Structure formats: structure tokens, C-alpha cells
Amino acid sequence: MNFGENLQRLRKGKGISQERLAEIMEVSRQAISKWESNSAYPETEKLIALSDLFGVSIDYLIKGNESNETTDCVQGSGENTTIGETHKDTVKDRIVPVRQYRPLRTALAVILYAISPFWFYLLGEQPGGSGRGVFLMFLSIAVATGLLIYNHFIKRKEGKK
């Protein structure tokens, strides 16, 4: 068995539709369809979440090695097994902290850019002085630039999902 067949078997064994799984994993239904047809594969983060969701190892998901835990998962324990909110939050808990602080990082970068020239005035810098004002100005600019670059790469990474 390959990844797509394993995923489809586990999903159907739990009685979950592609739409519901897509909602839980925060991807499109088409992404689930591509995973199941082996046209595309999930990111490592999503693979871990799928493993947690279905209670199987990542090794089983990818290679299809049979084990007791996978048989139990598909056959069920005799009770009606549903996916709770705890599984829905699995992926969201890992993504939201990065996303929610983006505006704060951007605002901090803008503030640092804005105050960078005022270090001269705040420290009373004179020509030929200690250079603390220049140092703090460049430090402010470097930190602000770093924050904006970090935001750019986080946004770019989220865009690929």
C-alpha cells in the first residue's frame, strides 16, 4: 500500500469525508484528493497531524507497514468514533501563533524605523562623540529589517500551503 491508499483507508475507516478532513487539516478538499491519489504529498507538519489524528505512526502512513495500532484504528473499538475539537485544533495550534504575531512584528519594525534617527537627539550626540547614537540607530534599523524579512518568509511559507 502507498500513502494515498493508506490515507483513504484510514479516513473511510473513521467515517470522515474528504471535506471534513480538509477542514480539520486546514487545507482544501482538492489537497486531500491529491494526497489520496498520490498526486501530491502533505508537508511534514500535516503528516504529523494526520498521524496523531488517526492514531498511527508516520511510518505506517508513508510505507503501509501493518501493525496492531493501525488495525485497531480502522476497525474501531465498537463505539462510534468521531473526530473531536481536540483533533481539529492540532494543526491550528501549530500555525496560529506565527500568524497572530505578524501585525505586531510589523508594527514594531515600523516604530523602530521611525525612532532610529532620534537616538542622536535622545543621547545628545555631538560630532566626534562616543558613537552610541550611531550604534543604536543602526541596531534599530537592523532589528526592524530582520523583523520584516522574517514576516516575509513566514508569509511566503504560509502561501505555499
Cα distance between residue 8 and residue 124, in whole Å: 68
CATH code of 50's domain: 1.10.260.40
Last residue of a domain, one of 12, 46, 81: 81
Q: Is the pLDDT of residue 14 over 70?
A: yes
107 backbone dihedrals φ, ψ, rounded to 5°: -60, -45
Q: What percent of the chain has pLDDT over 70?
A: 70
In a domain, 88, yes or no: no
**Do 77 and 8 have their domain in common?**
yes
**Do 60 and 16 have their domain in common?**
yes
In this predicted model, what pLDDT tens digit does every residue of 94-130 receive, in sequence order?
555 556 677 888 888 899 888 888 877 777 776 666 7
**Do 7 and 75 have their domain in common?**
yes
Residues 6+ apart with CB under 8 A from 4: 35, 36, 37, 38
Q: What pLDDT is stored for residue 84 in this prediction?
A: 47
Cα distance between residue 155 and residue 143, in whole Å: 18
Q: Which of 8-17, 98-107, 132-141 has the lowest mean pLDDT?
A: 98-107
Q: Is the pLDDT of residue 79 over 50?
A: no
Instruction: Find the radius of gyration of the CA atoms of the chain.
Output: 24
In a domain, 11, yes or no: yes
Residues spanned by the domain of 36: 3-81
Mean pLDDT of 51-75: 69
Cα distance between residue 69 and residue 60, in whole Å: 10
Q: What pLDDT is stored for residue 71 in this prediction?
A: 44
Q: What pLDDT is stored for residue 145 in this prediction?
A: 92
Cα distance between residue 48 and residue 131, in whole Å: 51
Number of other residues whose CB lies within 10 A of the CB of residue 140? 20
In this predicted model, what pLDDT tens digit does every residue of 16-56 receive, in sequence order?
999 999 888 889 999 999 999 988 888 888 888 888 888 88
In a domain, 119, yes or no: yes
Q: Is the pLDDT of residue 66 over 70?
A: no
